[in-house]
């Protein structure tokens, strides 16, 4: 019963903010025109076919990716491969001419139940197709722990990686959950980590940083 309650729907949204070395008041809002986001690919054990969906906000400020089966676990009732789950999203973000964007901040949330001695890992990375620059972060958790978890990744302004102006590039967003039994007893206990909350109501936010192209 507890597994059914915990494998809920997690949401991922990208929220627009503004930045430019020479920002103006006009740049404090999302670009004009409709921003279209096409899901080019959804791959990984954390988002098998039919378990991830995307919805774009009508005001160009966000889009939501909903997961329904993103959970890593070890112990009783687990398969040998369940200790690690991942998801890679390939997103084609159609930005109006004259603008570009980067991901400046990401707030991840979920629920974890880790036995004493067990550990959990949440990892994320973002990069544009054909570009070497990759932003990657990871966060570790230690048992005993049984509660909602939250992590925040912030990229310094000088380290922001923008999509190239005038070129359409796929934005790849990779996430991973990993659980290790450690010194706990996997023969009699279960530890898990999910990319959602117990009630499925919290969101994971990816914040845009905008600037105008020359």
The token pair that represents 178 in the structure block: 């990993």
pLDDT in tens, 166-183: 888 999 989 899 999 999
Using alpha carbons, select from 200, 132, 141, 201 the residue that is nearest to residue 172: 132
- What residues contact residue 86 under an 8 Å CB cut-off, 6+ apart? 44, 45, 46, 174, 175, 176, 177
> Is the distance from CB of 176 to CB of 121 less than 8 angstroms?
yes
Residue 94: CB atoms within 10 A of its CB come to 11
Per-residue pLDDT of the chain (214 residues; tens, 9 = 90+): 344 334 333 333 333 333 333 333 344 366 777 777 888 888 999 988 887 766 666 666 666 667 778 899 999 999 999 999 999 989 898 888 888 888 877 878 889 999 999 999 999 888 899 888 787 889 999 999 999 999 888 888 888 888 988 888 999 989 899 999 999 999 999 999 998 644 444 456 677 888 888 7
Terminal CA-to-CA distance of the chain, rounded, Å?
56
Whether residue 160 is preceded by a cis peptide bond, meaning omega within 30 degrees of 0, is: no
Using alpha carbons, select from 137, 141, 209 the residue that is nearest to residue 173: 137
CA dihedral sign, ordered 183, 87, 17, 214: positive
């Amino acid at each position: 019963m507890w597994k059914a309650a915990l494998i809920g729907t997690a949401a991922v949204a990208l929220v627009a903010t503004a930045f430019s070395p020479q920002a103006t008041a006009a740049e404090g809002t999302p670009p004009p025109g409709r921003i279209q986001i096409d899901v080019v690919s959804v791959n990984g054990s954390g988002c098998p076919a039919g378990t991830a969906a995307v919805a774009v906000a009508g005001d160009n400020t966000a889009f939501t990716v909903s997961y329904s089966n993103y959970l890593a676990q070890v112990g009783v009732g687990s398969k040998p491969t369940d200790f690690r789950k991942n998801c890679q999203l390939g997103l084609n973000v159609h930005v109006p001419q004259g603008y570009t964007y980067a991901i400046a901040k990401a707030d991840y949330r979920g629920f974890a139940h880790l036995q004493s001695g067990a550990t959990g890992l949440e990892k994320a990375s973002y990069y544009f197709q054909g570009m070497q620059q990759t932003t990657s972060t990871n966060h570790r958790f230690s048992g005993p722990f049984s509660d909602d978890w939250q992590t925040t990744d912030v990229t310094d302004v000088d380290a922001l990686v923008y999509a190239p102006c005038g070129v359409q590039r796929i934005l790849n967003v990779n996430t991973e959950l990993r659980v290790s039994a450690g010194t706990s007893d996997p023969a009699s206990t279960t530890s898990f980590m999910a990319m959602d909350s117990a009630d499925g109501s919290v969101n994971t936010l990816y914040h845009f940083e905008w600037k105008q192209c020359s």
